[in-house]
Chain A
Amino acid sequence: MRALTWQGVHDVRVETVPDPEIVNPRDAILRVTSTAICGSDLHLYDGVIPMVKPGDVLGHEFMGEVVDTGPGSTLKKGQRVVVPFTISCGNCFFCEKELYSACDNSNPADKQDMSEMLYGYAVSGLFGYSHLTGGYPGGQAEYVRVPFSDVGPVVIPDGLEDDKVLFLSDILPTGWMAAENAAIEPGDVVAVWGCGPVGLFAIQSARLMGAETVIGIDHHPHRLELASQLGAETIDFRQTDVREALREMTGGIGPDAVIDAVGMEAHGLAADNLIDRIKQGVGVGADRGHALRQAIMAVRKGGRVSVPGVYGGFMDTFPLGALMEKGIEVRTGQTHVQRYTYDLLRRIGEGEIDTTFLISHHLPLEEAAEGYRNFKTKQDEWTKVVLRPH
């Protein structure tokens, strides 16, 4: 089959690789009909996530048609399903608590060592996202093997086309959990760093959860425009002093909750970020945390910090004092996708949530490399790329 493979920093290629087959009883094989490129994929593309190997198939946002099932799968051939990017067994202590991205049993035993060393305990397996999270071949391919297919995949009713439901695989639940982690109360002001796909869905979710004002922060005019179309106020961090602006826009109190939807590759020329950039450049496992630092400084006393943005290593000059002295609550994590999929599918079906506004480009799988390049370098117009492998 054809599949998008990682070859090195800023080098991804569509190549021919062997078709996947059923390996474990609970597996299913999908013929992929739609698969998206994610901001998280850019961290791999830029080489800031360790343990990616040349030839690894990327892609964790995908859906398709079931073409084969193991004896333990509950899926049936011909069904259309969307697959959560978190691989979860559904049986362990963590899955039972709906902490799906903490599943104990989906990250292969020999892949858990590194994760344990870095984080204390191994995190779950993820599709197409380095050997730290299992080394599972991803879904930017014609076919994909889906482990624990009786737990994750969501069967899509006829009549809902791919573009409406594809983002149930990751960014829609991620935006939703980001807003949920902000513990929004009526009357709240919520500030969101980053108006990429995750930030925009977080804005949409925060509005649905009753935030009175949502403020989106970015520097791309078109992305800020999309944020305001979702009902957010906006701040362009290139033109405006973000902290000053947030203080003034909230009557001097500060936002009640802040959401970091930027992650480890924050843009900007602030001093802290430049130092981080050098460290990240020489590969010392440093995360570029400008957005997170700013968010922690900006949030009101006793406020909430929600971090959907991905970090993988360590960060210097972390404003620990502000965190402690202001009594801030932090909630974060890879999304527990399976916790949200059915509720969000219902909201999509009822027309409460639309996700199609985000898609700027459809490309055949063969042009995936171009999709990566543009999603990275022309972020403003290239808001979301959906690949069609067939």
Chain B
Amino acid sequence: MSVDQEPRDLPGADQPNGRGKTAALAALALGIGGYVAAAVALSRRRESARASMHDSAPGRTARRARFGGYSVVGRTVTIRKPRQELYDYWRDFANLPRFMESVKEVAVEGDLTRWTIAAPAGRTVSVETRIVEDRPGELIAWRSTEGSDIDTEGRVHFKDARGGRGTEVEAIIAYKPPAGELGRLIATLFQSEPALQGRRELKRLKMLMETGEIATSRNHRERTEGDTP
């Protein structure tokens, strides 16, 4: 997942305004950090050399951004809880299926985590990730291992929110489905509306953390397909 693998697909190669090129340069400069690192870097306020970037918005909000064939989705949500508490909750990966609807199971073995993710047509997809960075109270980053169905990396960042409003939780995920039938399956699973999925998940996390429950309009305990009964 380094930039060299797919130089033609560099972000914004087709963008005339220079913003995308800057993203590409940033990705190159960051090299081994990979695309998430590039996306995260771009999400920081404009610091120095990237003078041709005209604003301080996160790179992923560029009108067109591609990170070497990877799709990058990211979303920030502010949660009224201290960041250590949110970090601790997330770091215990067994908690994640509570608010990530498509994650069916999480098994942790040492620094490896195996995720079972529901896919269309009753199939499941398996992803194994390794933690690549872990800063308590601040950040967790992971990357998929060779044996995964999806080539993916991601990180979640916890920052104190302005004005004592709690914590800004920023999650960024880059992924590239494999070729073939499984790839198409995964593409429908994630690429249909990956941003949508991500933002729903963060909102559920927020509900759980702030209110102790996840809002639903269902009037019955047993899970039914679709909407209100």
Interface CB pairs A-B, < 8 A, 8: A21-B219, A24-B214, A90-B211, A93-B78, A93-B166, A109-B214, A112-B200, A136-B217
Binding site for A on B (CB under 8 A): 78, 80, 165-166, 196, 199-201, 203-204, 206-207, 210-221, 227-229
Q: Give min CB distance, B223 to chain A, whole Å.
A: 10
One digit per residue, 1 when the CB lies within 8 angstroms of any chain B CB and 0 when it does not, for chain A 104-143 equals 1111111111000000000001000001001111000000
A135 and chain B: residue at smallest CB distance: B217
A110 and B226 CA atoms in complex are apart in Å by 11
A11-22 toward B: CB 8 Å interface, digit per residue (1/0)?
A: 000000110111
The yes or no answer to A53 lying at the interface (CB within 8 A) is yes
| Complex Cα–Cα for A125 and B200 (A) | 15
Q: Provide the bound-state CA to CA distance between A106 and B200, in Å.
A: 13
Distance, CA A72 to CA B212, complexed state (A): 9
For B221, what are the chain A residues with a Cβ–Cβ distance below 8 Å? 21-23
Which one of A26, A107, A112, A137 lies within 8 Å of B211 (CB-CB)?
Answer: A26
| Set A21, A96, A137, A147: member contacting B215, Cβ < 8 A | A147
Q: Are B213 and A112 in contact (CB under 8 A)?
A: no
Which of A21, A93, A105, A137 is in CB contact (< 8 Å) with B217? A137
6 A-B pairs besides A89-B210, A105-B206 with CB distance below 8 A are A23-B216, A108-B216, A109-B199, A109-B203, A131-B217, A135-B227
**Contact status B228-A109, CB under 8 Å:** no
Interface Cβ pair total, 8 Å cutoff: 89
- Chain A residues near B200: list those with CB within 8 A: 109-110, 112-113
CB-defined contacts of A108 to chain B, threshold 8 Å: 214-217
Range class of the A interface residue count: 35 or more
The answer to whether A20 touches B220 (Cβ under 8 A) is yes
Given the interface contacts A89-B210, A91-B210, A92-B80, does A105 sit within 8 Å of B215 by beta carbon? yes
Q: Which residues of B contact A110 (CB under 8 A)?
A: 200
B217 contacts A112, CB within 8 Å?
A: no
Could you say which residues of chain B place their CB within 8 Å of the CB of A301?
none
Chain A residues, CB < 8 A from B219: 18, 20-21, 23, 137, 145
A104 to B204, CA, bound (A): 11
User: Which of B78, B203, B218, B228 is A112 in contact with, Cβ under 8 Å?
Assistant: B203
Q: Tell me, in angstroms, the Cα distance from A286 to B80 when the chains sit together.
A: 37
* B216/A105 in contact, CB under 8 A: no
Asked if A148 CB lies within 8 Å of chain B CBs, one says yes
CB-defined contacts of A92 to chain B, threshold 8 Å = 80, 210-211
Chain B residue with minimal CB distance to A87? B215
Give Cα A17–Cα B220 distance, bound, in whole angstroms.
12
Chain A residues, CB < 8 A from B201: 109
- Are the C-beta atoms of B80 and A134 separated by less than 8 Å? no
CA distance A148 to B206 in the complex (A): 15
Smallest CB–CB gap between A96 and chain B, Å?
8
Q: Which of A17, A91, A109, A111 contacts B80 (CB 8 A)?
A: A91
Report A203 CB to chain B, min CB distance, Å.
Answer: 35
Residue A56 is within 8 A (CB to CB) of chain B in the complex: yes
CB closest chain-A residue, reference B200: A109
CB distance from B188 to the nearest CB of A (A): 18
Complex Cα gap A109–B219 (Å): 16
Q: In the complex, A89→B207 CA distance in Å?
A: 9
With a CB–CB cut-off of 8 A, which chain B residues contact A135? Answer: 217, 227-228
Expressed in whole angstroms, the Cα–Cα distance for A56 and B165 within the complex equals 36
Whether A327 is near chain B, meaning CB under 8 Å from some CB there, is no
Closest approach, in angstroms, between the C-beta of A110 and any C-beta of chain B? 6
A163 to B207, CA, bound (A): 35
Interface string of A214-232 (1 = CB under 8 A from B): 0000000000000000000
**Does chain B have a CB within 8 A of A78?**
no
Which A residues lie within 8 Å of B216 (CB)? 23-24, 108
Q: Which of B80, B213, B228 contacts A56 (CB 8 A)?
A: B228
Establish whether residues A72 and B215, one from each chain, have CB atoms under 8 Å apart when the complex forms: no
Q: Are B227 and A106 in contact (CB under 8 A)?
A: no
CB pair B212–A104 under 8 Å, yes or no, is no
A22 / chain B contacts, CB cutoff of 8 Å:
221
Q: Which residue of A lies closest to B78 (CB)?
A: A93
Question: Closest chain A residue to B163 by CB distance?
Answer: A93
A364 interface hit (Cβ, 8 Å)? no
Most interface-central of A93, A113, A137 (chain B CB within 10 A): A93
C-alpha gap A22/B218 in the complex (Å): 10
Tell me the complex Cα distance, A137–B196, Å. 25
A268 at the interface (CB under 8 A from B): no
Give the complex CA separation of A137 and B219 in angstroms: 8
Query: Does A24 lie within 8 Å of B213, measured CB to CB?
Result: yes
Asked if A319 lies at the interface with its beta carbon under 8 angstroms from chain B, I say no
A113 touching B196 in the complex, CB below 8 Å, given contacts A23-B220, A104-B206: yes
On whether A134 and B196 interact (CB within 8 A), knowing A92-B210, A93-B165, A109-B207, the answer reads: no
**Which residues on A sit within 8 Å (CB–CB) of B211?**
26, 89-92, 105, 148
Query: For residue A26, which residue of chain B has the nearest CB?
Result: B213
With contact pairs A91-B80, A109-B207 given, residues A25 and B213 touching in the complex (Cβ less than 8 Å) = yes
Closest to B204 in A: A109
Q: Report Cα–Cα, A108/B218, bound state, in Å.
A: 10
A26 / chain B contacts, CB cutoff of 8 Å: 211-213
Q: B228 to chain A: which residues have CB within 8 Å?
A: 56, 135-137
Q: Could you tell me the distance between the alpha carbons of A364 and B211 in the complex, rounded to whole angstroms?
A: 37
